[in-house]
Structure 1
Amino acid sequence: MDTHESTFPLIISVDDHTVEPATVWQDRLPEKYRGTGPRIVRAPVKEMTFLGGRFKPVMGAPGDDGPVGDWWVYEDLRRPLTRLDTAVGYDRDEIRLEVITYEQMRPGSYDVPARLADMDVNHVQSALCFPTFPRFCGQTFTEAKDHELGLLCVRAYNDWMVEEWCGPEAHGRLIPLTLIPLWDPELAAEEVRRNAARGVRAVAFSEIPPYLGLPSVHTDDWDPFLAACDETGTVVAMHIGSSSRMPSTSADAPPAVGSTITFANCCFSMVDWLMSGKFEQFPNLKVMYAEGQIGWIPYILERADVVWEENRGWGGVADKVHRPPSELFTEHVYGCFFDDAFGLRNLDAIGVGNVLYETDYPHSDSTWPKSREVGEAQMGHLEPEVVERIVRRNAIELLGLSDDGLWDGTR
């Protein structure tokens, strides 16, 4: 680990990312599905835009002019690897929306020993990683035509995540986050239990399922899945963009608009959960919002409490939400941040026990390799025991890690 003298605790990042190696699905799918399952093809880009929160790449044909990159091909989907998938190590002015190959990305994006080395440089001990090609909660497989193949793809990803990415080479420093078949809550519950049996304590989910054409959390549809999470102590992890719709204002709004308001879906989602009654129905259920930051939380809790109290006659939740939403938040919800000085100045209105730290490696927003320095600058006013909770202890308790911050599949 980094030997730089520092009293800042070794970081447990609850939101980093993995770029899946090209062989994840080809190595694990039955032979009959390898021609339609996810695979890498090198090809030029014909057109690529990212406006109004929508990413629209178009793959060119072999021999066409244009920059060449590695593309994931799956059924009719053509999705390129881009510089935004793995931007660490590049100057901010060099980070553009462009296609790349595996050789052009930082090896720590997909290689376990290289990832651990980059974590050492960044004062990070352990990290929970969200997917890239499946998207942040497995939407890629949910949107596919063949759900039999989709289920195999979900299970293959989870097997790779547990057995290889978080396998012996990781020495307990990589923490597994698995996917579910979102189209079937019963199958989702089975997958939660299958992975919980091998020590997994986090599952990815959509911040706003109706954006994916799925039921909302106000229905009973998700109850089998939520019951499995409640019973196994599996935290429901929701990353910004896990509804396949990044916040924006218009079809022509530049990416900077959406990047400024990325927290918005987390905000909407948290109100959904607080007003759903699910936290009282499933008392052990925990949810976390990756990359949502935390500065917005105090006002939303204040407003939710007022609405719950003052509008109980017509608000539609009096029969299922029997406690102030702010109390439910304290017991069930975690906000995650990597750069939020304002939120840290208002920590007393959020709760020391409800905040987790992250580095977002290898994305363009990542604080790598200065995550310790950023943390020191923003948490310098806090007592050491508070910093310890934010940077390590809360994650250890939430994710069932060992006391020294490592993942052990037997726990």
Structure 2
Amino acid sequence: MTQPDARTAGTTRIISADCHVNEPPHVFDRVPAEYRDRTPRLMRGADGGDGWSFDGTPPKRTYGIEAMAGRTKDEYVMSGLRFEDILPGNYDGAAHIADMDTDGVDVSVVYPGHAIFTYQAADRGLAQACMLAYNDWILDEFQAADPTRVVGLPMLPVDDGMAATTAELERVMAAGAKAAFLPGNPVRPYHDPYYADLWNAAESNGLPLTYHRTFGGKPQESDWDNVANNNFSAAGTVHRFFSSTRQMTYMTLAGVFERHPGLRFVVGEVNFGWLPFWAQTVDEQFEIQAPMGTLQVTAPPSAALGEQLFVTVLDDRVGFDLVRSGAYPYLAKAAMFSTDYPHSVCLWPNTRKTAEELTRGLDARDTEAILSGNAARVYGV
């Protein structure tokens, strides 16, 4: 039975700036022959579910929390699902678009799933080969279902040298990439001068870059709730909404955005109710320390918000209330609405209803900016 297209239920365009895939078993089939016997594989776990193994041993965790779309909250499971239990929209571009239509979403910006674990693989040759294979799959298969409605995010090998990174940026752009993904936990922090060539390349090519809170790479601090080890909890999920402040603070105060005025950076799944306090704090430190002559920035750091620095938001009612108050004009310029399909906090299939509730009473221009306008101007969709 054909699902109704919920986009006809309202006139406001909706772009989800944060969705995900759960990669199909063949995602790494394109790696060179020398790596094929060592590529990550989808395997049966001890609990009877299917999960990804990156070292040939049974998976640390099987499908669950990252593939909850299609289930009611009381049917949620941490793990134990088999590949055939998850919606095809997780891994098939046409099915993903059909689920977007059911949800009333016009465009989906799609982050990786388990492929991010290549950022912490010890064999960097294999890791890069897998990244490139993933990039080919997300662009040539998934995004290709309709490039006007799906923005696939290829992964850049930032930990493997700037030559490899910028070469892959050029390659994926030639293949149709509209943006690129960076790990949330890189080996070197993003204010390091090491990244200058990447910022220059992204700026000169007009390619936006994005990282998704702590998604990808090894955590820089000890944490019992360790995403890098496939260990999730409710407490960890809450914490990760606040996990971007370090990168954002160091990048802005180190002058990354000031030196690269064409650089556009999106931080995924962090919401925006906390942004006014962050903006107040970095600007206060700018004012206090500017006379000392030690800063690498000449203007208040919060000026990057909505111009070069953006965040994706879900049903952050505090954030929407702050927009409604009119006290922080940059909030509506900096926020990109998202559904987080198919993860456990996803709004699917009630996105349009949720969006209407969240934006009730907002200025029409702010509503348009958050629901679609900001993502449209950054991603060119």
Compute the TM-score of the two structures, normalised by the length of structure 2.
0.89
SS of the residue corresponding to residue 34 of structure 1 reads helix
| Counterparts of 2:225 and 2:306, CA distance in 1 | 38
Percent identical residues: 27
Shifted more, 199-208 versus 85-94: the winner is 199-208
Residues 107 and 151 in structure 2, CA contact (< 8 A), matched pair in contact too: yes
Q: Does the C-alpha gap of structure 1 residues 30 and 244 become closer, same or farther in structure 2, counting only changes over 3 Å?
A: closer
Aligned to 1:326: 302
SS of the residue corresponding to residue 41 of structure 1 reads strand
Runs of 4 or more above 6 Å deviation = 245-250
Shifted more, 145-154 versus 355-364: the winner is 145-154
Residues 19 and 109 in structure 1, CA contact (< 8 A), matched pair in contact too: yes
Match of 1:230 among 203, 223, 240: 203
Match of 1:372 among 331, 336, 352: 352
Is residue 151 of structure 2 the alignment partner of residue 149 of structure 1? no
Match of 2:173 among 157, 177, 196: 196
Cα deviation code 1:174-225 (max 9, x no counterpart): 112110112222211111122223332211113343xxxx122232111111
Aligned to 1:134: 115
Is residue 41 of structure 2 the alignment partner of residue 21 of structure 1? no
SS of the residue corresponding to residue 339 of structure 2 reads coil
SS of the residue corresponding to residue 289 of structure 1 reads strand
Q: Does the C-alpha gap of structure 1 residues 242 and 313 become closer, same or farther in structure 2, counting only changes over 3 Å?
A: farther
| Counterparts of 1:68 and 1:215, CA distance in 2 | 38
Q: CA deviation at 1:325?
A: 0.8
Aligned to 1:158: 135
Amino acid aligned to 2:260:
F
Amino acid aligned to 1:299:
F
Q: CA deviation at 1:374?
A: 0.8
Q: CA deviation at 1:244?
A: 4.9
Q: CA deviation at 1:333?
A: 0.6
Aligned to 2:89: 108
Amino acid aligned to 1:290:
G
1:281-300 pair list within 5 angstroms: 281-300=259-278
Residues 184 and 217 in structure 2, CA contact (< 8 A), matched pair in contact too: no
| Counterparts of 2:19 and 2:149, CA distance in 1 | 12
Computed over aligned residues only, the root mean square deviation of the Cα atoms, in angstroms, reads 2.4
Match of 1:337 among 313, 316, 319: 313
Compute the TM-score of the two structures, normalised by the length of structure 1.
0.83
**Which ranges of structure 1 fall in alignment gaps of 5 or more residues?**
46-66, 402-411
Aligned to 2:376: 396
Q: CA deviation at 1:105?
A: 1.0
Aligned to 2:190: 217
1:75-114 pair list within 5 angstroms: 75=55, 78-114=59-95
**Which ranges of structure 2 fall in alignment gaps of 5 or more residues?**
227-231
SS of the residue corresponding to residue 193 of structure 2 reads coil
Match of 2:322 among 342, 346, 354: 346
Q: How many residues align?
A: 367
Aligned to 1:10: 13
Point out the structure with the larger helix share. Answer: 2
Q: CA deviation at 1:110?
A: 1.2
